[in-house]
């Protein structure tokens, strides 16, 4: 039947969004109606979690459908932070999914006054470098401010993840699984970074980071 492959892809991705959303919620990486997830469709459109939706209780059939221009065409109204996703996709054309959370340890790092705004977390582990890389800090904007999209767009071309000041991370990946895993790696490394503050931890050297980036390119 004409169109059935696309319908099948959408059904699968809707289920994946619901499964990963519930996993993130059940493990305390998102709470209440915070956080949002999106995936790119083969036809150039997007699926996106709805506004005020709990990631732990998503109804796959009600996940928002957007067309190739980012216009809402079906399902519940998309997250009010949809512009963050669109800004990341515009600068990350090979990315297939984006996860934005208000995860506790990542948000804590975003509130610190003395983090390096060009790279908020040092390269403490190989897997952090492989899955996240450098993490720039986006200056604070009120939630829903379209100017935040412009600020993200200015950094997303060089980085697959950004940290919104006093807000949380936005992480892109080649597919939904990769984006979720990178978000989880970021949260665990943020926790590790906070545990090690004041301890002068040994980070990976620039040479070790370069070796990882060459052997395990992201995207």
Cα→Cα distances 175→144, 180, 212, Å: 25, 9, 21
Q: Is 184 a catalytic residue?
A: no
Half-sphere exposure of 165 (CA within 13 A, CB side): 16
Q: How many CB atoms lie within 10 A of CB 14?
A: 20
d(CA 205, CA 219): 23
Q: Which helix (H) or strand (E) holds 170?
A: strand 168-173
d(CA 163, CA 188): 14
Q: Is 211 a catalytic residue?
A: no
- DSSP-derived secondary structure for 48-114: EPBTT--GGG--GGGSEEE-TTS-EEESSPBPTTHHHHHHHHHH-TT--EEEE---HHHHHHHH-TT
Q: How many CB atoms lie within 10 A of CB 75?
A: 19
| Identified catalytic residue from 81, 184, 185, 187 | 81
* Residue of 126, 138, 38 whose CA lies nearest to 90: 38
| Identified catalytic residue from 15, 89, 127, 207 | 127
d(CA 25, CA 119): 27
d(CA 96, CA 9): 13
Kindly list the catalytic residues: 81, 127
């Amino acid at each position: 039947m004409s169109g059935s492959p696309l319908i099948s892809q959408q059904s699968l991705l809707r289920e994946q969004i619901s499964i990963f959303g519930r996993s993130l919620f059940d493990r305390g990486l998102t709470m209440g109606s915070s956080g949002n997830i999106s995936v790119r469709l083969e036809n150039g459109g997007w699926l996106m979690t709805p506004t005020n939706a709990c990631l732990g209780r998503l109804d796959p059939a009600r996940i928002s459908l957007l067309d190739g221009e980012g216009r809402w065409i079906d399902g519940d109204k998309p997250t009010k932070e949809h512009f963050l996703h669109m800004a990341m996709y515009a600068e990350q054309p090979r990315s297939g999914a984006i996860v934005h959370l208000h995860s506790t340890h990542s948000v804590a790092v975003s509130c610190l006054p003395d983090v390096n705004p060009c790279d908020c977390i040092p390269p403490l582990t190989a897997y952090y470098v492989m899955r996240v890389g450098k993490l720039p800090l986006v200056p604070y904007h009120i939630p829903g401010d379209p100017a935040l999209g412009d600020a993200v767009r200015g950094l997303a071309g060089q980085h697959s993840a950004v940290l919104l000041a006093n807000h949380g991370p936005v992480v892109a990946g080649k597919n939904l699984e990769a984006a979720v895993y990178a978000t989880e790696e970021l949260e665990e490394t943020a926790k590790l970074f906070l545990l090690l503050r004041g301890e002068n931890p040994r980070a990976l050297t620039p040479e070790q980071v370069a070796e990882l980036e060459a052997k395990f390119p992201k995207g």
